[in-house]
Amino acid sequence: MARIVAGAGMSHVPAIGVAMDTGITGDDYWSPLFAGFEKSREWIKEVNPDAVIVVYNDHATAFSLEIIPTFALGCAAEYAIADEGWGPRPVPAVKGHPELAWHMAQSIILDEFDLTLVNKMEVDHGLTVPLSLMFGQPEEWPCPVIPLCVNVVQYPPPTGNRCYNLGKAIRRAVESFDKDMKVVILGTGGMSHQLQSERAGLINAEFDNAFLDMMATDPEKAASMPHVEYLREAGSEGVELVMWHVMRGAIDKDAREVHRHYHVPASNTAVGHIILENTTA
């Protein structure tokens, strides 16, 4: 059967992609951030997944305020790179895995989660930056990708608990797929940051690191956190962290921490990263 072997949480700051695309990752400002992902690239190369599920949020490229799905699952064979106002990132088009994605759709919907199914979609930095952090700058991404887009842009976003339970449904779906596959799931977004108003530039390292601790050892406590706590402690864009709960729900509760990285700042955002491996076969 297919199985989810590990999950990782990470930020998807757009400036990270710009740094990679313009060749400045070795600059004094950027090198400490990218150094924290060297082990991650070695790790995922060794794991060699057959597919990656990326939980991310769209930034008004695939969806506008006219249509706002809470959870949108990409079922296409390929996803073009979005032009976010300065041209598409110079990265490969993202190849999907329609067979697994459609199986997931059927399983998750019959598991009583309502998904929007997407057969054509451009993907933005929310998805491509995590791929770049994990895989570098290849001519082609080394495995198919299944995008799962979560609304954290327009109120109301889903709760952390809802996302955590969706992760459990994703695991059940993957494990009922009758092909032998290794799957890694990425929960992206965050950490603490606010892009507007009086608290623009907010960084709360104490909260961020406590959240990483909970991801490692107490995911149910993390999933119970109300929206207002993200707003108060992590800023208006800190609510992106609910997407990490989808990843966390899809792996073992006692998953083993393999690697952790925290860096401030990247642009005006705190960057967090954790890799967790399943302890079950």
Residue positions annotated with a catalytic role: 125, 193
Tokens of 279: 């302890």
Q: Is 28 exposed, middle or buried (0-12, 13-18, 19+ CB in 10 A)?
A: exposed
Tokens of 7: 């999950």
274, 219 contact by CB (below 8 A): no
Angle among Cα 48, 52, 55 to the nearest 5 degrees reads 150
163, 243 contact by CB (below 8 A): yes
3-state secondary structure of 146: strand
3-state secondary structure of 194: coil
Angle among Cα 19, 21, 27 to the nearest 5 degrees reads 35
Q: How many CA atoms lie within 13 A of 22 on its CB side?
A: 9
Tokens 């800023």 locate to 235
Handedness of CA 27, 31, 33, 37 (dihedral sign): positive
For 105, residues 6+ apart whose C-beta sits below 8 A from its C-beta are 73, 75, 115, 117
Nearest to 76 by CA among 50, 49, 52, 99: 99
Cα–Cα distance, 189 to 242 (Å, whole number): 9
